[in-house]
């Protein structure tokens, strides 16, 4: 997946909204909740491939699905994705296509996965020695499990929650993880405006992964331009 770089280049860590120095966030949190797409891996190329397969299976016309189109909606709730991609399509046809895409996506990613971001394994091992780790994503049910099946450090994530589980907003899923696991001082790591806003609504501080799909100038306590930057921040 193409990465939107921050306007601040060649810095692995940038702190915002606070007077601080690298390392000063250490010991301030007891847990880290991660977004998935654009934060831990990039699956847009293979998702586009899967949705193209689904497009060939339906008996009505759908505009070709490209990686760029998938990238443009990454991070949205799964139902909203197809409303945005196909706003003029008949609701019955849209739901039929969504169901075909959902199945093809899981089947394809189970087989070939997505692109794990560099130094994911080392970073997660480092963080797991110091924090409890979780995942909250706006994806469909089964998607996080698919990621974990391709992740060499899957056992370091203690639990996860997604849009497909209850059909509720990401902020509520973050709250569920915090409440269900008794987290006292969590921090959320994500890459989009939606991630920041969800974390804020859930009352959880936000670290911005600028190597992902979004662009932000404010509303985060730290910015990293690669996943390994978390080792210096936390």
Domain boundary among 85, 112, 139: 112
Question: Do 21 and 57 sit in the same domain of this protein?
Answer: no
Strand extents, DSSP E, 97-177: 115-116, 132-137, 157-162
pLDDT tens, position by position, 64-107: 999 999 998 888 888 889 999 999 899 999 999 999 999 999 99
SS3 state of residue 99: helix
Q: What is the CATH number of the domain that holds 103?
A: 1.10.150
Q: Residue 188: which CATH number?
A: 3.40.50.1000
Q: What is the pLDDT of residue 77?
A: 84
- Domain match, 129 and 142 both: yes
Mean per-residue pLDDT, 183-203: 97
Q: Are residues 32 and 48 in the same domain?
A: no
- Tell me which of 86, 112, 138 is where a domain ends: 112
Examine the domain organization and report whether 130 and 178 are in the same domain: yes
pLDDT at 21: 45
Q: Do 97 and 206 fall into the same domain?
A: no
Residues 123 and 228 in one domain: yes
Is the predicted pLDDT of residue 18 greater than 90, yes or no?
no
What pLDDT band is residue 23 in, cutting at 50, 70 and 90? low
CB count in 10 Å sphere of residue 89: 19
Q: What is the C-alpha separation between 140 and 224, in angstroms, rounded?
A: 27
Q: How many CA atoms lie within 13 A of 185 on its CB side?
A: 9
Kindly report, residue by residue over 141-182, the tens digit of the pLDDT: 999 999 999 999 999 999 999 999 989 999 999 999 999 999
Q: 0.85 exceeded by the pTM?
A: yes
Domain interval for residue 130:
13-41+116-233
- The mean pLDDT of 205-215, rounded to a whole number, is 95
Residue 22 has pLDDT above 70, yes or no: no
In a domain, 34, yes or no: yes
Quick check: is 139 in a domain? Answer: yes
Instruction: Count the neighbouring beta carbons within 10 Å of the beta carbon of residue 220.
Output: 26
Neighbours of 131 (CB within 10 A): 20
Query: What percent of the chain is modeled with pLDDT above 90?
Result: 81
Q: What does the pLDDT read at residue 24?
A: 75
3-class secondary-structure state, position 161? strand
């Amino acid at each position: 997946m193409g990465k939107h770089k921050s306007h601040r280049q060649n810095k692995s860590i940038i702190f915002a909204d606070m007077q601080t120095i690298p390392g000063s966030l250490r010991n301030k949190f007891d847990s880290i909740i991660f977004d998935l797409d654009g934060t831990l891996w990039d699956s847009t190329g293979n998702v586009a491939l899967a949705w193209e397969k689904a497009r060939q299976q339906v008996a009505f016309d759908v505009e070709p699905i490209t990686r760029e189109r998938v990238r443009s909606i990454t991070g949205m709730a799964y139902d909203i994705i197809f409303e945005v991609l196909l706003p003029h399509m008949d609701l019955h046809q849209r739901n039929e296509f969504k169901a075909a895409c959902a199945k093809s996506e899981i089947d394809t990613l189970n087989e070939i996965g997505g692109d794990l971001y560099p130094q994911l394994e080392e970073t997660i091992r480092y963080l797991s020695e110091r924090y409890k780790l979780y995942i909250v994503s706006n994806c469909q049910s089964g998607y996080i499990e698919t990621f974990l099946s391709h992740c060499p450090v899957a056992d370091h994530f203690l639990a996860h929650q997604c849009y497909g589980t209850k059909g509720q907003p990401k902020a509520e899923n973050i709250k569920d993880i915090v409440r269900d696991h008794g987290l006292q001082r969590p921090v959320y790591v994500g890459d989009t405006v939606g991630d920041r806003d969800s974390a804020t609504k859930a009352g959880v501080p936000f670290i911005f992964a600028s190597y992902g799909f979004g662009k932000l100038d404010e509303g985060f306590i730290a910015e990293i331009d690669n996943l390994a930057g978390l080792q210096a921040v936390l």
